[in-house]
A and B are shown apart, each in its own frame.
Chain A
Amino acid sequence: MRLHATILQLKAMTAQQSGSRRRLLAWLPGVIGVAIVLYTFIGGGYLVSVVSFGLIYALFVTGLNLFMGYTGQVSFGQNAFAAISGYMSAVLTTTYGWGVAPALACGIAATLVVALVVGYPALRLKGHYLAMATLAIGLIAYEVAVQWQSVTQGYMGISGIPPLGVFGYEITSDRGNLAFLALVAGLGVGAAALIRHSRLGRAMTAVAGSEDAARALGIDVARYKLLAFLIAAAYAGLAGSLFVHVVGFVSPEVYGLHMVNLAFTMLYVGGIGTIAGPLVGAIIIILLPETFRSFRDYQDMAYGAVLILLLIYAPRGLASLSDLWSGRARG
């Protein structure tokens, strides 16, 4: 694929540019993330589906990171976009018998339309108003999923959603899902890296750095906020749809506020504004409860303690840990 080729090219470029240990260290968190995925794939067992969810979240958080980390905006409502696309996928495949690929494409398209309609006015709001508006979107999406029973079947949810697959080939094994999701997540993270090092990504990062300076250089700030919002919504929609096809079931709870909580934890633990951060954060946070299963009653405490330690020793996230060695303050 072309995208893949360009990713390789980008890697080659960055490696050759500095040729120093610093860049390699910056890749270290990503390498660890990939190693965990590989290890799980080979090892098998129930961890396969846990890591699969981690990869779906990695996509979701990568989008959130483009909007929050790169562009410096806040959204508590990304779960709404996951819900729109997820339900769209579920309803189109079960009620209307569509194929998975067109249903997923339709879901993402619907997500983009809603994000455009919501984002255009909302992004003109500043600070907490934007945050509150996005929070409202998440809550409204939840209510709609609960109340619109004729389509969503309310709390009952929709089951029997077909698994991922194209051209009549279906992925039926957990390992198959993991491999496919790893590929999609890899492309998703690669795309974010390409965006970050492009004119678009620089304009987005400039908006986060100083809106006044960005405008003084001719950057249409409102336009780049909206673009970042749409890209983040597309990632959320993709994650939302992948989820329903992997699990085979959807209900309002799937996209509840806890999804926002979890995504924020992943983003901050992994490293906001870094490229590998969302992937690392998503996998570590999804695995943490599993790691502490043997602590039984103290499981939650251990989980909390690790989070606190991470915040103390890696306040800018795991992906920035390599900065400690390289002495470089950038992601």
Chain B
Amino acid sequence: MTGLLLVNSLCKRFGGLVAVDSVSFEVIAGRVTAVIGPNGAGKTTLFNLISGTIPPTSGQILFAGQNITGHAPEKVAAQGLVRTFQLVQLFQNLSVEENVKVGCHLHTRGGVLAALFRPRWAREEERAVEANARELLEFVGLADVAEASAATLPYGQQRLLEIARALAARPKLLLLDEPAAGLNREETQQLSSVIRRISERGTTVLLIEHDMTLVMNTADAIVVLDFGCKIAEGAPEDIRTNPAVIEAYLGGVEGISSVTGDNRKVVADE
């Protein structure tokens, strides 16, 4: 068992707010790992740090044996770490299929000259991209709407499209930020099956999710964050009965946070 991703004492401060507080954990290759925690716990911030969207205040991120701390997102993606977003970020101006084709960017080549003169290799590559896109749309169940404009898809399908597009980049590690948010029960079940099949294809998955049924159905390991700190880590059955986790979720934190929006750790002035 090898750690594909190693997060080491990672910290992120926003002014006086510590959004991620010395978080360390490991993502084992071939598994599905879930990050859970109440609203504002720092889960998305953790993803932003790992994917290079924002630089950490301190700490280290190792991916596939390489130090990727503070690398630009496109560099991190080129290493094989690809993410989706909590608020779906589709290319609304492109069709469903073209969105997936954009995902093939990293393992294709060609610029102005290839576009204008379409040499044989470029045409062959374009055919491969097309086949790849079709196959992935089939995989997530969107083949029927391939020609539609991405902007016209219902929300659930938009989330699946974002996943198909990320898969087109052939990630070693796929980061999914709340893939089930806004989905109905049936769509969530479909998503569970997609996540399991992604894992079976050999892609390691790290996902943030509030839907506990989905987490319990898909995750092999769980990391729990609260107030920016890791409060627990382990197999699903252990997490379910972990007193600290029960405290974080049932100790009123969720309820309080939704009313006051204030369940963050604020550091005293230094």
Min Cβ gap A293→B in Å is 38
Q: How far is the CB of A24 from chain B (nearest CB, A)?
A: 15
- Contacts A199-B108, A205-B93, A209-B93; is A214 near B102 (CB within 8 Å)? yes
Q: Determine if B93 and A273 form an interchain contact, defined as CB atoms under 8 angstroms apart.
A: yes
Q: Which of A206, A208, A328, A329 has the most CB of B within 10 A?
A: A206
**Which of A9, A18, A191, A217 interacts with B165 by CB under 8 Å?**
A217
- CB under 8 Å from chain B, chain A span 32-87: none
Contacts of A231 in B (CB 8 A): 112
Number of A-B residue pairs with CB-CB distance less than 8 Å in the complex they form: 123
Q: Are B118 and A194 in contact (CB under 8 A)?
A: yes
Residues of chain B from 96 to 142 with CB closer than 8 A to chain A in the complex:
98, 101-106, 108-112, 114-118, 122, 125-126, 129
In whole Å, how far is A185's beta carbon from the nearest beta carbon of chain B?
Answer: 16
A198, CB-defined interface residue at 8 Å: yes
For the complex formed, measure the closest distance between the CB of A66 and the CB atoms of chain B, giving whole angstroms.
11
Max chain A Cβ within 10 angstroms of own Cβ: one of B77, B102, B147: B102
Q: Quick check: A209 and B91 within 8 Å, CB to CB?
A: yes
Q: Does A201 contact B (CB under 8 A)?
A: yes
User: Digit string of A314-331 for contact with B (CB within 8 Å is 1, else 0)?
Assistant: 000000000000001110
Residues 200-244 of B contacting A (Cβ, < 8 Å): none
Q: Do residues A209 and B82 form an inter-chain contact, with CB atoms below 8 A? A: no
Q: A6-B117, A218-B77, A329-B151 are in contact. Are A210 and B90 (CB under 8 A)?
A: yes
Q: Is the CB of B89 within 8 A of A217?
A: no
Q: How far is the CA of A200 from the CA of B165 in the complex (A)?
A: 17
Most chain B CB atoms below 10 A, which of A18, A214, A221: A214
Among B78, B90, B115, B165, residue most surrounded by chain A Cβ atoms (within 10 Å):
B115
B29: Cβ under 8 A from any A Cβ: no
Q: How far is the CA of A216 from the CA of B166 in the complex (A)?
A: 8
A6: chain B residues within 8 A (beta carbon):
116-118
CB < 8 Å neighbour of A208 from B93, B110, B125, B168: B93
Q: Tell me if B106 and A213 are in contact (CB < 8 A).
A: no
Q: Which residues of B contact A221 (CB under 8 A)?
A: 74
| A128 contacts chain B at the CB level, 8 A cutoff | no
A217-B166 CB under 8 A given contacts A205-B93, A212-B53: yes
Query: Does B22 interact with chain A (Cβ within 8 Å)?
Result: no
Please name all residues of chain B whose beta carbon is closer than 8 Å to the beta carbon of A215 when the two chains form the complex: 53, 72-74, 77
How many Å from the CB of B160 to the closest CB on chain A?
Answer: 15
Q: Which size bracket describes the interface of B in this complex? A: 35 or more
Query: Which one of A198, A206, A227, A329 contacts B149 once the chains associate, using CB atoms below 8 Å?
Result: A329
- B92 on the A face (CB < 8 A): yes
Contacts of B129 in A (CB 8 A): 199
Q: A200-B110, A208-B93 are in contact. Are A220 and B74 (CB under 8 A)?
A: yes
Asked if B25 is at the interface (CB within 8 A of a chain A CB), the reply is no
Say whether, besides A217-B105, A329-B151, A227 and B112 are in contact (CB < 8 Å): yes
Q: Is B192 among interface residues, defined by CB-CB distance under 8 A?
A: no
Q: Does residue A140 face the partner (Cβ distance < 8 Å to B)? A: no
A328–B145 Cα gap in the complex (Å)? Answer: 13
Say yes or no: B77 contacts A195, CB within 8 Å: no
Interface of B is mostly: helix
Within 8 Å CB of B91, what residues of A? 205-206, 208-210, 213-214
Q: How large is the interface on A (under 10, 10 to 19, 20 to 34, 35 or more residues)?
A: 35 or more
Rounded to whole angstroms, the CA-CA distance of A206 and B100 in the bound complex is 11
A3 interface hit (Cβ, 8 Å): yes
| Interchain CB contact under 8 A, B116 and A191 | yes
Return chain B residues, CB-CB under 8 Å to A219: 74, 102, 105
In the assembled complex, which residues on chain A have CB atoms less than 8 Å from the CB atom of B114? 198-200
Is B36 interfacial (CB-CB < 8 Å)?
A: no
Docked CA distance A202–B93 (Å) = 10
Task: Chain A residues near B53: list those with CB within 8 A.
Answer: 212, 215-216
The smallest beta-carbon distance between A51 and chain B, in angstroms, is 26
Complex: how many Å from CA A220 to CA B230?
Answer: 33
CA A328 to CA B162, docked complex, whole Å: 21
CA distance A291 to B127 in the complex (A): 47
Task: Give Cα distance in the complex from A208 to B126, angstroms.
Answer: 22
Closest to A18 in B: B147
Do residues A217 and B106 form an inter-chain contact, with CB atoms below 8 A? Answer: yes
**Contacting residues, chain B, for A198 (C-beta < 8 A):** 110, 114-115, 118, 122, 126
Contacts A2-B117, A215-B73: A206 and B94 contacting too (C-beta < 8 A)?
Answer: yes
B94 contacts which chain A residues (CB < 8 A)?
202, 205-206, 209
Given contacts A194-B115, A194-B118, A195-B115, contact A218 B151 (CB under 8 A): no
Residues 172-214 of chain A: 1 if any B CB is under 8 Å from the residue's CB, otherwise 0? Answer: 0000000000000000000100110011111101101110111
Q: Is the CB of A218 within 8 A of B89?
A: no
Q: Is the CB of A216 within 8 A of B112?
A: no
Determine the chain A residues whose CB is within 8 A of the CB of B89 once the complex forms.
Answer: 210, 212-213, 216
| Bound CA span A206–B150, Å | 12
- Interface CB pairs A-B, < 8 A, 24: A194-B116, A198-B118, A200-B110, A200-B115, A206-B94, A206-B102, A208-B91, A208-B93, A209-B91, A210-B89, A210-B90, A212-B85, A213-B85, A214-B102, A215-B72, A216-B83, A216-B85, A217-B102, A217-B103, A217-B168, A218-B77, A218-B106, A330-B93, A330-B149
Name 10 extra pairs, CB < 8 A, besides A191-B116, A199-B111.
A198-B122, A199-B115, A208-B91, A210-B91, A216-B82, A217-B82, A217-B169, A218-B78, A220-B74, A329-B149
**Chain A to chain B: the 7 pairs with minimum beta-carbon distance, closest first:** A209-B91, A198-B115, A218-B77, A213-B89, A218-B106, A215-B73, A210-B89
